[in-house]
Chains A and B, each alone.
Chain A
Amino acid sequence: AQSVAQPEDQVNVAEGNPLTVKCTYSVSGNPYLFWYVQYPNRGLQFLLKYITGDNLVKGSYGFEAEFNKSQTSFHLKKPSALVSDSALYFCAVRDASDSWGKLQFGAGTQVVVTP
């Protein structure tokens, strides 16, 4: 069974500073990794994914994430945070060897960007 850990319930950052949201995962096979963002009273929006290839993945709104197999991590990063980036961020993993495997989400990390 797969699992995802987002160790921080909340991340606070000043506008213009770098933003990092941490994620570690556990799967028995190779992982497919995803980041989603949820704004208040909205559904989840897809940001980016790692399937294979380059460990640095670029996504929407200037976000990127780095896959680190040895540390089983997939941290989300943005070089310069905006107030509008304030939202709830979810990391998710699926086991690549299980074609019908569910997408397992982490508990979410609330990002607060202050002006």
Chain B
Amino acid sequence: DSGVTQTPKHLITATGQRVTLRCSPRSGDLSVYWYQQSLDQGLQFLIQYYNGEERAKGNILERFSAQQFPDLHSELNLSSLELGDSALYFCASSVSGGYGGELFFGEGSRLTVL
């Protein structure tokens, strides 16, 4: 158990809909990362927050947004969903924002768009 909690574990929805994925980082970790894992794209970095502020942005679509709240939990919002958004979405956390600190991953939220 990494200490990172993600909900929901599974989500099935239709094209055009909007979903919210939630992540609670390990106790004491200030940084939260979101990754998307799909068969064709591999593990893609989406966005990183540190203590409530956005710190790094990757290949995140404009239809996607995220935020980190004062209690350090984070939410990833996916809107106008397309079939290609079906993937496993991982949240990870670390104590600091970068340098040599390893990331601790949650179990992921599997999104299926029909």
Q: How far is the CA of A100 from the CA of B50 in the complex (A)?
A: 9
Residues of A within 8 A of B103 (CB): 44, 46, 103
B2 A108 Cβ-Cβ under 8 A: no
Residues of A within 8 A of B (CB-CB), count: 25
User: Is B25 in the interface zone, CB < 8 Å from A?
Assistant: no
Q: How large is the interface on B (under 10, 10 to 19, 20 to 34, 35 or more residues)?
A: 20 to 34
Q: How far is the CA of A20 from the CA of B102 in the complex (A)?
A: 22
Most buried by B among A44, A49, A96, A100: A44
B102 A42 Cβ-Cβ under 8 A: no
Q: Can you give 5 contacting A-B residue pairs, CB < 8 Å?
A: A44-B103, A51-B100, A94-B98, A100-B98, A102-B58
Chain A interface residues (CB < 8 Å from chain B): 32, 34, 36, 42-46, 49, 51-52, 90, 94, 96, 98-108
